[in-house]
Amino acid sequence: MIDLYKILGIKRSARRKEVHKAYRKQAKKAHPDGGGTDEAFNQLVVAYSVLSDEGRRAHYDQTGEVELPQPDNLDGGAIEIIAEKLGLIIHAEQDLAALDIGTLIERAIQDDIAARKASVAHQQRAGERLVRLRARAKRKAEGEGDLVARVLDWHEVAIQGQIKKNEVIIGNLERALVILEDYSFIDEATAEPSEDVVEALHDILVSLDELAAILNTSPSRAEAMPKEAEPTAFG
């Protein structure tokens, strides 16, 4: 069993403030950029996430098990989808600055929705064919049990199950899109200026050009100042 308290270097009676302080201190040494390893840093993150959460800490103290965080709302399905898409971005090993993260996730979810809706349409058409096939399937002789009818029943249950499953997933995907509307993944430091800012900068540059033109075509200060009269023979 991993001793999370030992990883952070704190006592079991440590308060949340002490947990936070210990994490910040250990993070500098455990991080790969500071000479640590990925494994050590990951263990530190787990230790901090568990011991800084009262519920997960109590569960760990009682059982010694590290409980994974669970969504505490009704958007569990949508959150799982967002987690999956963000996980793909995290492990893509590409420069985040070169990725339009928000657009990538949105397109991926929209593609999933389109694929699920196409699957529902296919299953619905299959259900219609099943109904027609059931009407045509007739047993030639009397007997106990109708094997073909039972098989058709099985297919009908499977088709309806697939339709229901896809409809639930579509709902979660659409909910994920709504949740993501409240988030932006743009790096403010590298974000392109808005059109209003661009127009304002353009006006300033035009004004500066006009001012430069005026200064270049006007006499210099020295030339504009009247010259003192040179002394003459008459003084």
Give kind and range of the element (H or E) at residue 126.
Answer: helix 101-136
Instruction: List the structure tokens of 217.
Output: 């075509």
Q: What does the pLDDT look like over 76-120, one tens digit per residue?
A: 788 888 888 888 887 777 777 777 888 888 999 999 999 999 999
Identity at 66, one-letter amino acid code? V
pLDDT of residue 67: 67
How confident is residue 181, by pLDDT bands cut at 50, 70 and 90? confident
Cα distances from 128 to residues 104, 121, 139, 149, 154, in angstroms, run 36, 11, 21, 16, 15
pLDDT beyond 80 at 217:
no
* 31 DSSP 8-state letter: S
Q: What is the mean pLDDT of the chain?
A: 77
Q: Tokens 């440590």 sit at which residue?
A: 14
Q: Tokens 């009676």 sit at which residue?
A: 13
Q: Tokens 């039972």 sit at which residue?
A: 150
The 8 Å CB, 24+ separation contacts for 122-131 are 123/159, 123/162, 123/163, 123/166, 124/163, 126/159, 127/156, 127/159, 127/160, 127/163, 130/155, 130/156, 130/159
In sequence order, what are the residues at sequence separation of 6 or more whose Cβ sits closer than 8 angstroms to the Cβ of residue 30? 36, 37, 40, 41, 43, 44
Q: How many CB atoms lie within 10 A of CB 86?
A: 13
For the question of whether the overall pTM of this predicted structure is more than 0.85, the answer is: no
Instruction: List the structure tokens of 79.
Output: 């959150």
Residue 118 half-sphere exposure toward CB, CA atoms < 13 A: 6
**The domain 4-63 belongs to what CATH superfamily?**
DnaJ domain (1.10.287.110)
How confident is residue 174, by pLDDT bands cut at 50, 70 and 90? very high
Q: What is the average per-residue pLDDT within 203-219?
A: 57
Q: What is the average per-residue pLDDT within 206-216?
A: 59
Q: What does the pLDDT look like over 130-162, one tens digit per residue?
A: 999 988 888 776 766 678 888 988 999 899 999
High-pLDDT (> 70) share of the chain, %: 72
List the domain boundaries for the chain. 4-63, 98-180
High-pLDDT (> 90) share of the chain, %: 19
